[in-house]
Amino acid sequence: MRIPFFYDMLFKGDSSLLATWPWQEKDPVLPYLWEERQQIRTAFHRRQSEQAKGLMLHAVSAFIDHMVWTANRPVRTLSPVELTSELQALPFAPLNLQERLKYIFRQPDRYISFIQLDSLQEELTKKLAVYHRMKKSLPAGKPLTPPEA
């Protein structure tokens, strides 16, 4: 099991420690993302809410890292209000991300939170595929911005 936000905290302490940070990679892939999915499902089915809660907190941290690192930057804050606002502003943010994450943060030991996080991950995967496809089709140097609401 990895330490949540390890690279983000390390970067904040001393940004010169690594030559290349995970979010600076061409495609920041998080191999540990959802490695605990089956463990979480099993813990909920066995009604082991404390174990499920710990696993869920790791899973949601991996989800947050994935989103922020894909935007080529580290996680800057763990303040729920600031963090969810920053995530919602990303051009590939799933719908109603702030409300859904707020629910997960409040009740990580509920099975419905697991379902919500699983759904967020599926949506993010689809939105990232579209985002990367659109990004490749843009002229070099032109940033891809989220559509106006």
What's the pLDDT tens digit per position in 60-85? 998 999 899 989 999 999 898 999 99
Task: Give the residue ranges of DSSP H helices in the chain.
Answer: 6-13, 37-45, 49-70, 80-88, 97-106, 111-137
* Nearest of 41, 42, 44, 88 to residue 64 by alpha carbon: 88
Please give the model's pTM, rounded to 2 decimal places: 0.85
In this prediction, residues 13-42 reach a mean pLDDT of 80
pLDDT of residue 40: 93
pLDDT of residue 145: 60
Is the pLDDT at 11 greater than 80? The verdict is yes
Q: Tokens in use for 2?
A: 């990895």
Mean pLDDT of the chain: 87
Is the pLDDT at 137 greater than 50? The verdict is yes
